[in-house]
Structure 1
């Protein structure tokens, strides 16, 4: 038999960029292709993508991309990487399929894209791989674990999941599918680690409904509810509660409008009654009869809720007495933006409720007890924590060890890692086997913002820039600085730099030598008087 290679392309050293490749002989399938959201050390970058260098070299072998569910950290990279890997067929559940199509239209790619919808009970035959599915509960409908049947056994990629036996208006996890897989033989379990540091069982969506209804019913004026646009379960709960309490819903935010439209089309949000109104018609209603569904729960600068907080929203202004519900978890890196947003809302007289005050959000990811049960259900020969930063991955490993799972059978996920099975018992674990640095998306540029550019951006943000032009023949020197000293000090600061530049030029040498000398001498001077290290850019002419 050929070797089975399982390669982690992304998702194991950050939240997002989830992508895992399965390779047997000359056939490859990929499970998920998500984007990531940059944290503070990658200034100006819009998104991160999994590194697909390994796939680009083998694009003719790709039999398909299989999607677990419709969140951006699992589907968002598709428009950026499709051309590079030859647009293989995408297999996705209904909700994810519609979300992918919307993005394809935005990118002008709909004609290039072949999307096939799968459902529970379907089996895909992709080269040597047979792929089946198990429905799981998450916070978006149509979420599945993917079972990749290989010559060495079944590999389960859980996707995002939790065990919720009382989910909101959807079936619970298909426990039978996991039990059946266990009986057939699970070679490897690749399991979501996002909430691995949380003890106990994950919260049920049904429990959240009670607190949401209480807040909306008691709100004296308008309700402004903000959550992830893709959190369909929460949107459905709010719609049902508002219908029951006689509040009309107006949507604010493009991504929210798109997602609600798809959910209504797929009957995932009920259409009973005329609960939705336009922004124009909402102006005719009393405040106590309005609920605004708005984007912005993460404090995103261009979101609807942030615009309301900044008085820049074209249709809605915050009022004292508004009830604002932030029904979402905090994506790592967004903490300060969310706290600043809550401060602004509070100062404008809004009553702000979030998960630290009341149970207005249930995470969509499994906790420690869920993890233990998943291992017991599937009885895998090997176990790999995935989907999370190292802290979460190792917490997941610790949970497995706590129930007696053998440490030598645990392979902690890592970007660029490749696990090679030549038999079912002794896999080779190759770390850094493939390129794994995430690829940046900045405006229209993909991958052109490298470590050098990011280092320069960080230096600019921290200490500013000094730009110097030198015309050697004329002896003319111009100094421009930004973000280094205030306007009152600039004149004398620039004169001091000019003296240093003249000294550097007088020492002679070609333009390159003079340029390097100026850069070093000016940096040394600025550090000696200001203890700062701005970016110094000399141009010698």
Structure 2
């Protein structure tokens, strides 16, 4: 599809919903109301009333990534998270995929705020690309997320044009008719929270990404008492992470990875590089501390790695972690048994630090026989080919490559930041929501989560689709229809810069 076809296609996307899903008990527990009975027909958007909460998931359903969820109540709307998704492997020239912000135009004056659960790319990646030129509502986030968002907005020249508010983990605040209570969770990033969204129609719990980690490394464990109290007070509905809902998983902790790193440095000679997500500050801290305890000099590689480390230090999250060297080049000439590199690039990204190291770029110490690289991350589906290319280059140089699925001394080199089915059952036992709306997963994940929720005693488990409008109220739940919310694929920039929202729109038909 050419660029010039896009506007015509945008106009042709049906604005009215598919009607007749009421008989599908997997998707609704009541008859579907035709959309034209419930909305300003000319603008194709529902007007939420006082006795209900409308939920419009715009991403994260049937896919991993692009988490956007609209909540409507008493004439107003709030957005929870605004992330990006990445295109399928082999789609060239595309940086990321987002909902077309133009679809929000009919409710722009009633969109009160964006509230962020945590600072992963699939939850905040669209902010610096869209604010304030396409969306201009205030943003609320925890301190770690606020600082990362502020840095990105500053780089985009938009920081002074955006209202950015910070709320504390465990804090409460009000936005129009919505009350927000943030609940401390654990995940593979500092300061993840669940949001209890209070309205006169009931409380909806939006979990964000989470797991139960008794020793998260950075911050405190999940606030179980707050979740239990929430359940005691009554929860109308819960929108919950489905990433590993299809399988039981043994309890895991970041503390196990730290022990694996200790074993790594105790048993390996030569240069060692550990590759992980920059936002996994606990993992980075474990790698730095384990290397330092083994008497190694440490350097960080990757712009995002340095940014996250600086923000974490500014917030006092790394008070007891030694400061690393600033550049990988500073490791050159040192004893090879006394150096360690912590870097980005575990998904095979061509411009990330690990790929540059594998290519032997001059700013990195040369890695070869006797050296070790650890990929302390899960390979995201779709990135397998890119990761294998980098791994093959390293192994061709004689480097030993250890994957995150491997064990050292019986401890894992990577643990998931998402709950398995067993942890989901624990959460449902605490919160006891009447209605479940599984999010953040492929169809397989969502279906497994819905079955689990029904078995846990939920009155309804709604299998919604992206852009569908779900009505939650004391009388039950129903899918009302869908809004017109096309997707945009933003161009990759030739110089490697982040793509921005601009008039040049590319639709990757069938790929997003």
Q: TM-score, length-normalised on structure 1?
A: 0.79
Is residue 421 of structure 2 the alignment partner of residue 368 of structure 1? yes
5+ long unaligned stretches in structure 1: 459-541
Is residue 291 of structure 2 the alignment partner of residue 291 of structure 1? no
1:499 maps to: none
> Per-residue deviation at 1:303?
1.2
Is residue 166 of structure 2 the alignment partner of residue 117 of structure 1? yes
SS of 2:348 mapped into structure 1 = coil
Larger CA deviation: 227-236 vs 263-272: 263-272
For 2:434 and 2:109, locate their aligned partners in 1 and report how far apart those are by CA, in whole Å. Answer: 32
1:537 maps to: none
Are the counterparts in 1 of residues 432 and 458 from structure 2 also a CA contact under 8 Å? no
Larger CA deviation: 200-209 vs 135-144: 200-209
1:140 maps to: 189
Alignment of 1:465-484 (within 5 A): none
For 1:454 and 1:317, locate their aligned partners in 2 and report how far apart those are by CA, in whole Å. Answer: 42
- 1:162-203 deviation per Cα after TM superposition (whole angstroms, max 9, x unaligned): 011232242110011111111221111000011222313442
> Per-residue deviation at 1:73?
0.7
For 1:250 and 1:14, locate their aligned partners in 2 and report how far apart those are by CA, in whole Å. Answer: 35
Question: Which one of 479, 484, 492 corresponds to residue 429 of structure 1?
Answer: 479
1:470 maps to: none
- 1:300-351 deviation per Cα after TM superposition (whole angstroms, max 9, x unaligned): 1111111121223533322211110100111111011112222221121111
SS of 1:80 mapped into structure 2 = helix
Are the counterparts in 2 of residues 93 and 118 from structure 1 also a CA contact under 8 Å? yes
Question: Which one of 291, 296, 320 corresponds to residue 242 of structure 1?
Answer: 291
For 1:274 and 1:265, locate their aligned partners in 2 and report how far apart those are by CA, in whole Å. Answer: 12
Residue 309 to residue 121, structure 1, CA distance change in 2 (3 Å): closer
1:96 maps to: 145
1:420 maps to: 471
Larger CA deviation: 20-29 vs 81-90: 81-90
1:15 maps to: 64
- 1:111-137 deviation per Cα after TM superposition (whole angstroms, max 9, x unaligned): 112211111342111111111110001
Are the counterparts in 1 of residues 271 and 371 from structure 2 also a CA contact under 8 Å? yes
For 1:302 and 1:342, locate their aligned partners in 2 and report how far apart those are by CA, in whole Å. Answer: 15
> Per-residue deviation at 1:454?
5.1
Is residue 347 of structure 2 the alignment partner of residue 347 of structure 1? no
Higher relative CO (Cα under 8 Å, sequence separation at least 6) belongs to 2
Task: Name the one with the larger helix percent.
Answer: 1
For 1:288 and 1:41, locate their aligned partners in 2 and report how far apart those are by CA, in whole Å. Answer: 39
Residue 272 to residue 127, structure 1, CA distance change in 2 (3 Å): closer
For 1:415 and 1:273, locate their aligned partners in 2 and report how far apart those are by CA, in whole Å. Answer: 45
- 1:126-172 deviation per Cα after TM superposition (whole angstroms, max 9, x unaligned): 11111111000101111100110011111011000001123224211
> Per-residue deviation at 1:81?
2.2
Alignment of 1:386-425 (within 5 A): 386-406=439-459, 409-421=460-472, 423-425=473-475
1:381 maps to: 434
Residue 345 to residue 281, structure 1, CA distance change in 2 (3 Å): closer
1:232 maps to: 281
| CA RMSD, Structure 1 to Structure 2 (Å) | 2.1
Larger CA deviation: 80-89 vs 171-180: 80-89
1:160 maps to: 209
Is residue 134 of structure 2 the alignment partner of residue 78 of structure 1? no
1:185 maps to: 234
Are the counterparts in 2 of residues 93 and 117 from structure 1 also a CA contact under 8 Å? yes
SS of 1:342 mapped into structure 2 = helix
- 1:467-520 deviation per Cα after TM superposition (whole angstroms, max 9, x unaligned): xxxxxxxxxxxxxxxxxxxxxxxxxxxxxxxxxxxxxxxxxxxxxxxxxxxxxx
2:15 maps to: none
Larger CA deviation: 36-45 vs 21-30: 36-45
Larger CA deviation: 252-261 vs 200-209: 200-209
1:516 maps to: none
> Per-residue deviation at 1:403?
3.7
1:463 maps to: none
For 2:250 and 2:330, locate their aligned partners in 1 and report how far apart those are by CA, in whole Å. Answer: 43
Alignment of 1:24-35 (within 5 A): 24-35=73-84
